[in-house]
Amino acid sequence: MPVLDPKQLAFRNAMAHMTAAVNVITSNGPAGRCGITATAVCSVTDSPPTLMVCVNRSSALNPVFKGNGQLCVNVLGGEHEEVARHFAGMTGVAMDQRFGLHPWRDGRQALPVLEGALASLQGRITEVQEIGTHSVMLVELDEISVREQGDSLVYFSRCFHRLQHPRPAA
């Protein structure tokens, strides 16, 4: 593991304090089927609906996403910590086996969509910028589904946490 300079270490520690939604980014196509746990996802615009997804350039999955040209952002619910761990490579389960451990369905153009995800956002990679260690992918969305209820899975201080859905006042 490379030694980090003080500024890099400070940046990583600061980012660990930034609570983020946990997602599994999936893809399927000529380059293969894959998925990766990621928090580096954010909205860009609603016209047209577009997301930004960041994937480490050294990841073996980076060229798979680019080669397929499409992906699905599966926003994980609080009950999906095990899914997050599998797709983060924390459990040692092979990629093909990961898709067999939880209920998935084929979305648009056979994109893997997690059943019960808080939201599934399927789209086309329309632009890629290489910035430092990461590829920043702009994804124009073609299909969006949302589950109205459920707790959220977030990542904070280098740990997964379940964030309760706000309950309506009685």
Q: Which CATH superfamily groups domain 21-163?
A: Electron Transport, Fmn-binding Protein; Chain A (2.30.110.10)
Whole-number Å distance between alpha carbons of 103 and 91? 18
Beta bridge partners of 18: none
Tens digit of pLDDT at every position of the chain (170 positions): 678 889 988 988 888 888 899 999 999 999 999 999 999 999 999 999 999 999 999 999 999 999 999 999 999 999 999 999 999 999 999 999 999 999 999 999 999 999 999 999 999 999 999 999 999 999 999 999 999 899 999 999 999 999 998 877 66
Cα→Cα distances 25→1, 6, 39, Å = 25, 31, 10
Position 73, amino acid: V
Beta bridge partners of 154: 21, 161
Radius of gyration of the chain, Cα coordinates, nearest whole angstrom: 16
Residue 117, token pair as written in the block: 């995800």
The pLDDT assigned to 170 comes to: 67
Whole-number Å distance between alpha carbons of 11 and 69? 31
- Enumerate the domain spans of the chain: 21-163
Tokens 């019960």 belong to: 116
